[in-house]
Structure 1
Amino acid sequence: MAEFDVIVIGGGPGGYVCAIRCAQLGLKTACVEGRETLGGTCLNVGCIPSKALLHATHELHEAEHNFAKMGLKGKTPSVDWDQMKAYKQEVVDGNTKGIEFLFKKNKVTWLKGWGSIPAAGQVKVGDEVHTAKNIVIASGSVPSSLPGIEIDEETVVSSTGALSLKKIPKSLVVIGAGVIGLEMGSVYARLGAKVTVVEFLDVITPTMDGEVSKQFQKILAKQGMEFVLGAAVQSVETKGGKAKVTYKLRKDDSEVTIDADTVLVATGRKPYTDGLGLAEIGVEMEQRGQIKTDAHWQTTVKGVYAIGDAIIGPMLAHKAEDEGMAVAEVIAGKHGHVNYGVIPGVIYTTPEVASVGKTEEELKKDGVKYKVGKFPFMGNARAKAVFQADGFAKLIVDENDRILGAHIIGPGAGDLIHEVCVAMEFGASAEDLALTCHAHPTFSEAVREAALACGDGAIHA
């Protein structure tokens, strides 16, 4: 008889959520995690610590630029970098210990160590082999780099090293204008670093709505971040704790070299499946290194499932969580479901950027007729009161007024987007959203006004 009903490999958002849901559904469950703490990349060296630094540096920005306008006068705060990092770690510790408590509460066994799968139904942790009726791979992802660039986590850092620099650099070069690069670039720009973002493509955040991307770049540029677009990085050389970044401009093939105290390589992430023994047991992989799964998240080996960053789809913690809950339902004999058309994405800069569903570019490519309703935060009383009137809320609807997507750049965008997510989940129209009373004054009124703009017109624009 199997020792466990389910063993989950990986204690990140997908893994720990899956393990807890399995236990709640009456399955005897274990979770394998080799870190000293649970929570995976997200809680330890990703989502949570970066948001702590974003919050701290946003408060610094407010003190430097907006406090006096509100009559809050006094000496501008100085930065104690070590204390800021200690605060960040306190936030991390509180969250990771919380997951450990939830494991105990739900009777999930934590198998401490790194796991491998010697055979279907078996998971090896250290020298011990445990048996399970079902195995869920939630091994996550790791930072990817560019060929020939060595990350030493001191001068040339990944997103992990960027969270714990020994000192605040005077100059920072960020390679890659995606979510991670822009968030961490924003942190250090607020701390006084000269930040230069080098991006291979001609736009930042290339998967987002084009109009949002252009506005976002303008706002970040006003905040002091510099952008070099259409540039292919050729090399990063380090000497004496400094770096030289050489890139080639695609428009004319000219080469440029810039100096930096620190270089952040933010060129995306790749699935982490090393050491699991997947090939040996017959688990098939996708061309780009993800684990191949069917519609129920089962791999090509019966009883072995995979979720999160290890499989195809956006590398987002909440996507992994949804899949973790869904696969738990499947294993328990219920119906697990994830609506991949309604998975929001958020960038936690100031202003925040959030999106869900289709962009205009995607709809044009597919030949779908659509209408746009847009409302600027300049017309939102609450946004003006907190000095965040840049940006807009934008809804995209089809010919029948059904919401196809939403794109928001402005205050609280990461929270505002979920009103639209719920509407889309239930097939609502823009009119449904527009006829729903919204409290005044709130940022959410901008979303309602965008919905009104899909019909007879917004009130305050």
Structure 2
Amino acid sequence: MSQYDLIVIGSGPGGYVAAIRAAQLGLKTACVEGRETLGGTCLNIGCIPSKALLHASHQLHEAEHNFAKMGLKGKSPSVDWKQMLAYKDDVIGQNTKGIEFLFKKNKIHWLKGWGSIPEAGKVKVGDTTYDAKSIIVATGSEPSSIPGVEIDEKIVVSSTGALELPKVPKKMVVIGAGVIGLEMGSVYARLGTEVHVVEYLDTITPTMDAEVSKQFQKLLTKQGLSFTLGAAVQGVEALKTKAKVAYKLRKDDSDHEIDADVVLVATGRKPFTDGLGLDALGVEMNRGQIRTDAQWRTNVPGIYAIGDCIAGPMLAHKAEDEGMACAEVIAGKHGHVNYGVIPSVIYTHPEVASVGATEQELKEAGRAYKVGKFSFMGNGRAKAVFAGDGFVKILADKDTDRILGAHIIGPMAGDLIHEICVAMEFGASAEDLALTCHAHPTFSEAVREAALACGDGAIHM
């Protein structure tokens, strides 16, 4: 078959979800992917493998620090790094094969190879050109670096290289205190690496609520990570077995240098659109991103774009939502994404999660608001599992009590945030959450207590 209703270029979370939804809606669908496996960056070299290593290293931490407290006595486990990487690879394989199964189930054709768009309505893969009534560009993003830093994926690595180092380094410098840097930094710190984070700004996770960010840094420091903030990296010199990182402190313009066995460059990601032929087609771009309208259409009829290669947060679930909505638009339905209710999560321990407005944003907007806050130290389940650090913080409109945002640092924060997402999607008030019965003992009771704190006050604090 060389003619399709829809061809999706890229099989990451945005691309494969778009393809499946389109097929469910009756469209003849194909998906272009040049990797040997489906799933894009997320499943192959991003979200999924990093969570596997976070899980494994957290189990080591529990064995070393908490097992004895629970009466589980014995020699602490040793780290078999090769086996841990094999476990990580097995997790990747299970997930990517799962997507391949879903493609077969939904009769989606996998066009193997790298795709380009020679003209509207046509997609070229290898030597074959296919016709498509509609095309979705879902090519995702790739790691970005900074001037003076060249990534070789051996000594100076991106997140990709950090997932497959030949051995656990004694010392690692992480450039950038964002999600990727702190997650991977946590993995190696638990495995015994001395981890030092160098960040240009004066705070870690700068887009998050300031109170959460401050508490997060304290907890990570307690876990052994060290931080140099307000530092501009000038360059990295990669030697045979180590590297030297030169940086300048912005507060006094002083020069400094630090050695490392491995340098992880975690300074963000940039859209990946190389080789698509978008320039020749005249597709409008905006600072490397594909410009789209509210229904993910580009300025070229029949060509759409979603995920990391367009504006908005580079999050897998944002791409998934756009994939479903875009497929629905193409099928003649009314696809929609509520960009005001897209959560973000950092999968360290404790986890950090947020949705909606931060307190800083509400202040800048002049919005009258109130804060309901509850510490996990007041949560019986959290104390029972040595997870009392952190808190739930709910921001609600001062007059209407409508929930405007929430920020959680603590156990299972990435799961707890979704209760608040659902509430916000339905325009709920903090009182609505406070009046909803929550099972005891659960971590979710901390969410209810924070909601109660927006009113007359929490019960257990």
TM over 0.5: yes
| Structure 1 equivalent of residue 350 of structure 2 | 351
Cα contact 1:11–1:31 (8 A) shared by 2: yes
User: CA separation in 2, counterparts of 1:238 and 1:309?
Assistant: 30
Other-structure match for 1:368: 367
Please tell me whether residue 435 in structure 1 is matched to residue 432 in structure 2.
no
User: For 1:126-148, what per-residue CA distance to the aligned partner results, in whole angstroms no more than 9, with x for missing partners?
Assistant: 01000000000000000000112
| 1:296 equivalent in structure 2 | 295
Question: In 1, Cα distance between the equivalents of 2:30 and 2:113?
Answer: 12
Measure how far apart 1:261 and its partner are: 0.2
Aligned ranges for residues 51-200 of structure 1 at < 5 Å?
A: 51-200=51-200
Contact 1:346 1:354 in 2 (8 A): yes
Which residue identity lines up with residue 393 of structure 1 in the other structure? V
**Distance between the aligned counterparts of 1:421 and 1:201, measured in 2?**
29
- Structure 1 Cα separation of the partners of residues 82 and 275 of structure 2: 36
The percentage of aligned residue pairs carrying the same residue is 79
Tell me which stretches of 4 or more aligned residues in structure 1 moved more than 4 Å.
none
Q: Distance in 1 between matches of 2:322 and 2:150?
A: 34
Distance 1:149 1:233 in 2: 9
Aligned to 1:327: 326
Number of residues paired by the alignment? 460
Cα distance between partner residues in 2 of 1:388 and 1:169: 28
Deviation at 1:205, TM superposition (A): 0.1
Structure 2 counterparts to residues 206-217 of structure 1, below 5 A: 206-217=206-217
Which amino acid letter does the alignment assign opposite residue 134 of structure 1?
A: S
**Which residue of structure 2 aligns with residue 341 of structure 1?**
340
Q: Distance in 1 between matches of 2:20 and 2:14?
A: 10
1:26 aligns to 2:26 (yes or no)? yes
Alpha-carbon distance between aligned partners in 1 of 2:104 and 2:292, rounded to the nearest angstrom = 30
Match of 2:426 in 1: 426
Inter-partner Cα distance in structure 1 for 2:294 and 2:412: 34
For 1:296 and 1:412, locate their aligned partners in 2 and report how far apart those are by CA, in whole Å. Answer: 34
Q: Deviations over 1:51-89 (max 9, x none)?
A: 000000000000000000000000100000000000000
In 2, the alpha carbon distance for the partners of 1:239 and 1:397 equals 53
User: How many Å apart are 1:38 and its aligned residue?
Assistant: 0.2
Task: Describe the SS at the equivalent of 2:280.
Answer: helix
Deviations, residues 390-409 of structure 1 (Å, cap 9, x unaligned): 00000000021000000000
1:385 aligned residue: 384
Deviation string 1:78-132 (CA, Å, 9 cap, x unpaired) is 0000000000000000000000000000000000000000000000000100000
**Partner-residue secondary structure (3-state), 1:353:** strand
Counterparts of 2:10 and 2:89, CA distance in 1: 21
User: 1-side partners of 2:237 and 2:358: how far apart?
Assistant: 39
Q: Show the counterpart of 1:273.
A: 273
Deviation by residue 1:242-262 (Cα, 9 ceiling, x = unmatched): 000010000111111011000
Matched ranges for 1:216-255 at <5 A: 216-255=216-255
Contact between 2:284 and 2:299, CA under 8 Å: does it hold in 1?
A: yes
- The residue number in structure 2 matching 1:308 is 307
Secondary structure of the structure 1 residue equivalent to 2:339: coil
SS in 2 for 1:235: strand
Measured in 1, the distance between the counterparts of 2:364 and 2:48 equals 36
CA distance in 2, matches of 1:239, 1:295: 48
- What is the letter of the counterpart of residue 128 of structure 2? E
Q: Is the 8 A contact 1:2 1:133 kept in 2?
A: no
SS at match of 2:101: helix
1:406-425 matches, cutoff 5 A: 406-425=406-425
CA distance in 2, matches of 1:294, 1:19: 20
| Pair 1:3 & 2:6 matched | no
Shift of 1:268: 0.1
Q: TM-score scaled to structure 2, two decimals? A: 0.99
Distance 1:376 1:86 in 2: 38
* CA positional deviation for 1:2: 7.5
Q: Which amino acid aligns with 1:71?
A: G
Instruction: Note the residue ranges of structure 1 that are not aligned, 5 or more in a row.
Output: none
Q: Which amino acid aligns with 1:347?
A: I
Distance in 2 separating the partners of 1:355 and 1:422: 13
What TM-score do the two structures reach when normalised by structure 1? Answer: 0.99
**Partner amino acid for 2:101?**
F
Distance 1:12 1:2 in 2: 23
Are residues 1:402 and 2:402 paired? yes
For 2:281 and 2:240, how far apart are their aligned partners in 1?
A: 47
Q: What amino acid is the match of 1:122? A: K
**Whole-Å separation in 2 of the counterparts to 1:72 and 1:239:** 44
Maintained 8 Å contact 1:354/1:407: yes
CA distances 1:171-225 after superposition (whole Å, capped 9, x unpaired): 0000000000000000000000000000000000000000000000000000000
Which amino acid in structure 1 is aligned with residue 417 of structure 2? I
Q: CA deviation at 1:270?
A: 0.1
Task: Name the structure 2 match of 1:41.
Answer: 41
CA distance in 2, matches of 1:367, 1:10: 42
Q: Give the partner amino acid of 1:388.
A: A
2:2/2:129 contact within 8 Å kept:
no
- Considering only aligned residues, what root-mean-square deviation do their CA atoms show, in Å? 0.7
Deviation string 1:430-454 (CA, Å, 9 cap, x unpaired) is 0000000000000000000000000
Shift of 1:240: 1.8
